[in-house]
Amino acid sequence: MHPFSYTRASDTREALDAGRDGGRYIAGGTTLVDLMRETVERPRTLVDISALPLRDIVVTRRGGLRVGALVRMAEAATHRGVRALYPVISQALELSASAQLRNMATIGGNIMQRTRCTYFRDVSADCNKREPGSGCAALHGVNRTHAILGTSDDCVATHPSDVAVAFTALEATVHLLGPDGKRTVPFADFLLKPGSTPNREQALRRGELITGVELPALPRPLKSGYLKVRDRQSYEFALTSAAVALHIRGGVIREAKVAAGGVGTVPWKLAAVERELIGRRPSEALWTKAAERAADGARPLRHNRFKVELLKRTVERQLRVAGGGK
């Protein structure tokens, strides 16, 4: 590990001052400390923000929920309001990481976590994300777990968060605070596709801090859930996943929110699937037809062609569950 200085911010102003000077924010530390040990990350200054008052989950005036950036994953997963209004969020969190990590890691840190591409974490390998311009060892290496959507010639790594997939499906908003004040960014615009700059992963300005994630009010009743397919049943990242929320009234699907994980360089909104669903009556044939669109635009790599079919089946199954089937 490289030497670094550590400062603990007692309020938001102190945190922003330190962040503007190039400090890296840390709270649960479940990703950043690992990466520092492996020398993948070498921050000069860590700014501990865990004392900031960002640990509330509140109902918004519009009837949605705002989850503070420092709410622990376990707290959010078991919160009564989250469970009642957005089961897809609870399920995505409970299927993430391990109990120990969920007790420590925060919502803000979860969406900021970095890829699990093994070449990114191996400092002897070429990796444009870690070392811009060095190349991408995964393109012609072992790429079974990598992305099939949103890739570029410079990076094909997946985003590892589960709850970010649910946030994408529900069209959440990220609340930010920086030296120039507050602003909000739609979740879909917050995480960046790699393009030619895979080292740039979030739409954050210098010194900006995530203060919370807002879930919109959605029409009720809303049936939602998260399905995660992985190589083993616990403490593993998704090969594919699907977050689905359906509002069905009068026997017709009025609203559909669908996104996929484990397949995109960012959590992948399945707009084509949503379009197939809206205005139609739930049926076995509809789930199958809509899920066929899940892999539109996919560009599989040598070792992950199986993800195309697996993604369609994952989406189809979760549509059926949310739509009231088995």
Nearer to ligand SF4, 143 or 211 (CB): 143
- C-alpha separations of 24 from 27, 45, 164, 234, 309 in Å: 10, 6, 21, 30, 40
Nearer to ligand SF4, 159 or 293 (CB): 159
- Closest approach of Cβ 40 to ligand SF4, in Å? 10
Instruction: Determine phi and psi for 302, rounding to 5 degrees.
Output: -60, -40
- Closest approach of Cβ 185 to ligand SF4, in Å? 23
Nearer to ligand SF4, 182 or 200 (CB): 200
C-alpha to C-alpha distance for 63 and 216, rounded to whole angstroms = 7
- C-alpha separations of 80 from 9, 42, 192, 230, 321 in Å: 30, 39, 32, 28, 22
Nearer to ligand SF4, 156 or 170 (CB): 156
Nearer to ligand SF4, 157 or 177 (CB): 157
- Please name every residue paired with 57 in a beta bridge, in sequence order, or none if there are none: 67
Q: Which residues of this protein are in contact with ligand SF4, per CB under 6 A? A: 115, 117, 119-120, 127-129, 136-138, 155-157, 198
Is residue 128 classed as helix, strand or coil in its secondary structure? Answer: coil
Number of Cα atoms under 13 Å in the Cβ half of residue 181: 1
Of 30, 93, 125, 130, the C-alpha closest to 261 is 93
Residues 6+ apart with CB under 8 A from 257: 169, 170, 171, 218, 224, 243, 244, 245, 246, 274
Nearer to ligand SF4, 155 or 239 (CB): 155
Specify whether the CB–CB gap between 156 and 143 falls below 8 A: yes
- Closest approach of Cβ 156 to ligand SF4, in Å? 5
Nearer to ligand SF4, 48 or 154 (CB): 154
- C-alpha separations of 6 from 43, 45, 72, 105 in Å: 10, 6, 22, 19
- Closest approach of Cβ 95 to ligand SF4, in Å? 23
